[in-house]
Amino acid sequence: MKKWITGFIAIGSLLVLSACGGDGKQNSSGNEKEQITFWGSWSGDQVAQLNELIGQYNDSQEKYTVTYKVQDNVEEKLLTGMAGGEIPDVILWDRFNTGMYAEKNALLDLDDLISKDNIKLDDFYEETVKEMNYKDKQYGIPLLVDNRSLFYNKKLLKEAGVEPPTNWDELLSAAEKTTKWEGKKLVQAGFSLDDVGLFNIWIQQAGGSVVSQDGTKTSFNSPEGKAVLEYWQTLLNDKKVYQLGFNDGSDAFAAGKVAMAYNGPWALSDYDKVDGLDYGIVPPVTGPNGDKGASTGGFGLVIPKTAKNQKGAWDFIKWWTTKPENGVEFAKISNWLPANKVAAQDKYFTENEKYKAFIETMDFAKIRPTVAGYSDVEGLALIPQLENIVSGKSSINEGLEKAQEQGDKILKEEAGK
């Protein structure tokens, strides 16, 4: 009798597991779904965000099951996988990587699939499509975008009697009026100037660019580049609205000690949790001649050239990127903005005070230059010299000349490869 009961319980347990669908790898007919392996470097809380949307895809159709796997150094592992290791079917990565790995013949050209399914690339922000294009072939579909817009502390600006600024002059005035010193100690900064890496957007606002239009030379050692650094020096040394190191590894804006700062949509979820922090967001300020400037980064989806389930990967990519409702849904989960313009115009963004500025900024935000060697120009040549300039270790002219010499050398060497 005991054996019969034990067997009955075991059979019943199996039936329950089967009825619940288990891991979702079977369709309603009991057939195995095709597996799609999805790689990305997103980890921690972001895994849950991805899995929530992946679960919606898996439940939306009967043919495929997507499984996400966290991969450190996903780009390097793609290349080693092509040499005989594991290869995913689809990858989530920084769009900036696309051209580099298309050149290495590591990615699937999507042009035929795009044409066959009549995918409208015009539905995506033009700059993001461009960033996933290499030699007139499309190797990826843009998924998520970001940009830096101007965050401001409503309470601090109201106390100073100023409105959110729209141009350099207004920013300088508002920053000066919201700055507080106690003797030689800065206790409240009007504007956070802690990231010289944002030089790219500032020089756009001044009417210039970091590299020449043909990508063969740097162009930051120019009147526009000097105008940016002179303005920075006015903020730091003349009006003293900020002091290097004031943030001290913490977020002084969140602590209510900084009145204005450039930041991205990734900050929203953290700031919304801060008690008493009442903040607003406006697009980046314009430069002295009314020029706008902003930079957009973000993620896209690609298919490795040797992926086993290219059809499944493409089906997943189409579902996520071309259906506006899915872009909006993931924004609600993750706070990321969709690269699909139709999705970005949903009232969830356009009627939301905090998202609205980011969407407006996307109308003029530009991607990083796609010329080979740009990352090294910025990271090895330009930024170290900018840090020397703002810290007073070198003059504007000296620093820009050194950066130009190093940057032009990098571009020349890359062009010769």
Residue range 51-60: mean pLDDT, rounded: 97
- The predicted pLDDT at position 248 comes to 82
In the predicted model, is pLDDT for residue 73 greater than 50? Answer: yes
- The predicted pLDDT at position 84 comes to 82
Q: What is the pTM of this model?
A: 0.89
CATH number assigned to the domain with residue range 147-296+370-415, chosen from the 4 options 3.90.1170.50, 3.40.640.10, 2.40.50.60, 3.40.190.10:
3.40.190.10
DSSP 75: H
In the predicted model, is pLDDT for residue 6 greater than 90? Answer: no
Domain 25-146+297-361 and domain 147-296+370-415 have a common topology: yes
Domain 25-146+297-361 has CATH 3.40.190.10: yes
Phi, psi of 374 (to 5 degrees): -60, -40
In the predicted model, is pLDDT for residue 346 greater than 50? Answer: yes
In the predicted model, is pLDDT for residue 94 greater than 70? Answer: yes
Residue range 86-95: mean pLDDT, rounded: 96
Distance CA 18, CA 26 (A): 10
Per-domain boundaries in the chain: 25-146+297-361, 147-296+370-415
- The predicted pLDDT at position 17 comes to 31
